[in-house]
Chains A and B, each alone.
Chain A
Amino acid sequence: MLSICCVSARPSGRATLSLKLIAVVLCTSLAACGVTRDQLDAVGAFGKSASTLANSVKDAYAQADQNEVDLRLAQQIASVSTSDPAVILRAYGVRRFDLSAKKIKGRLAAAEALSAYGVALATLLDSKTQDSDFSDAATSLTAAIKGLPTPLLNDAGITGDEVAGVGAVVVAFGKIALDIRRREVIEQVVPAAEPVVTKICLLFGRDFDVNRSSVGGIVKSEMIKSIDDIKRVFTAKDVTNGRDADSGATMQNRAVLLPLYEKLWNIKTKSLAAFADINDAAQGCAKASKNLAAVVKDPKVTLDDIIDFAKKAQAAFDAVKSLSGSKAG
């Protein structure tokens, strides 16, 4: 009923002036008239998917950082070119790539901001939400946006004005009674946040593109190399330092090398699948973020991109969950 009211209130060439006035007056008298069910669903779905993607991204970085230990270990077992234990130990102490929280603070802050945005939208759209809940979510979002470090902002191409725009709008609406101003919140927060959210999503998309020399590509390179190192020593083909005695010709060596090969192959397969899903979901997020801003302005805009993003975010979440399962295996 409410959505019919809203649609009919939109100016149309066929409507007469008096009918429009009646519709506007009628709508104004109903507090939440402006919010169509589709708009609410779209905002809610996007919010939940954005949080899901952000959490998947954080988990994928953490898992890749843990997998690095296995890669390094395999490389030091299979490809070492010296027999000096001190040199081997020293080399083992050098990370092949460092994705520890300390080194990727900017990326984690961006994931946190995306997550906080998703939570704020989902909280806003939850019928059980109280003013204080949204106020808390808005405070977290403002803190997360303000916490984005400058190099990350430069990296993603996010301007200071864009950050300030989101912060100002969120702070202003955090204190407003929800039931009567829900639409106003959506209409102003979503477009203000869109440029920042879209750019963060694109940043994650690039980072998890395995064909690009960023995190995804670097992890992929190291995995291929580690697996080939095992194959190389196993078959005693062109291994350095005359390591024929390390080949798979002996049962002891096979007992070490084959499980190592199996483990790395498993990690590689699952990691690359998870990265591809995150890349896909992140690009879907960027599209959906733009779509959401359009939907908020015009309820007749198709929701396809948002629905597509929701599916991709769930796929990425499932893939990352399976990735963490491969560690134990």
Chain B
Amino acid sequence: MPMTFKCATFIVVTNLKLTALLEKANDENASDAILTDIRGKLDTLEPQTAAANNIVIAHSDAEFDSLAKKVKTQTNKIDAAIADFTKINDALTAAGKLITQITQLLALVP
């Protein structure tokens, strides 16, 4: 099934933010529960990640930027937790919502 560019962008942006959060969690010696939560979210995206990476690499910057801006407001809380790890719970909630959105986008593909 072909993946839409919008969906690929959402996956790549979410992956970038979640892996940065995972790195931060490892640096902060976060609890197993937090690490499991972040890894679980990445696992959800995993089957689509390679395809999404390649779609984004093949598209132009301009196309990507306009879509990435739409995701940015939803990833602000993840960025905030990367800067200040005490905000991790809000970040995990925001990431959960993003993943639900991506799952819905994937389901829309005919």
Contacts and interface: CB of A to CB of B under 8 A. Distances in A.
Interface of A: 94-99, 103-104, 151, 154-157, 203, 206, 211, 213-215, 217-218, 220-222, 224-225, 228, 231-232, 237-238, 240
B26 A228 contact: yes
Given A221-B16, A224-B19, 17 more contacts: A95-B50, A98-B54, A98-B57, A151-B60, A155-B62, A213-B12, A213-B13, A214-B64, A218-B53, A222-B53, A225-B22, A228-B19, A231-B26, A232-B39, A237-B32, A238-B32, A238-B36
Contacts of A214: 56-57, 61, 64
B57 to A, nearest CB: 6
A217 B16 contact: yes
B22 A155 contact: no
Nearest to B12: A213
Contacts of B12: 213, 217-218, 221
B43 interface: yes
- Nearest first, the 10 closest Cβ-Cβ pairs linking A and B are A155-B60, A224-B19, A221-B19, A97-B53, A238-B36, A213-B12, A217-B16, A221-B15, A218-B53, A213-B13
Interface in B36-59: 36, 39-40, 42-43, 49-50, 53-54, 56-58
A213 B58 contact: no
B61 A155 contact: yes
Contacts of A99: 57
A99 B50 CA distance: 12
Interface in B5-38: 9, 12-13, 15-16, 19-20, 22-23, 26, 32, 35-36
B58 A103 contact: yes
Contact of A215 (B43, B57, B68): B57
B61 A95 contact: no
Contacts of B16: 211, 213, 217-218, 220-221
B90 to A, nearest CB: 20
Interface of B: 9, 12-13, 15-16, 19-20, 22-23, 26, 32, 35-36, 39-40, 42-43, 49-50, 53-54, 56-58, 60-62, 64, 68
A157 B62 contact: yes
Nearest to A98: B54
Contact of B19 (A154, A203, A220): A220
Contact of A206 (B54, B57, B61): B61
A128 B12 CA distance: 50
Contacts of B56: 213-214, 218
A225 B57 contact: no
A94 B50 CA distance: 7
B42 A225 contact: yes
B68 A213 contact: yes
Contacts of B53: 96-98, 218, 222
Contacts of A156: 61
A224 B23 contact: yes
A185 B19 CA distance: 50
Contacts of B42: 225
B62 A154 contact: yes
Contact of B60 (A154, A215, A232, A238): A154
B36 A237 contact: yes
A265 to B, nearest CB: 12
A228 B22 contact: yes
A111 B43 CA distance: 36
Contact of A103 (B35, B36, B43, B57): B57
Contacts of B58: 103
Contacts of B35: 237-238
Contact of A225 (B9, B19, B62): B19
A67 B101 CA distance: 32
Given A96-B50, A238-B39, A240-B43, A224 B64 contact: no
A96 B23 contact: no
Contacts of B61: 155-156, 203, 206, 214
A155 B39 CA distance: 34
Nearest to A152: B60
B57 A218 contact: yes
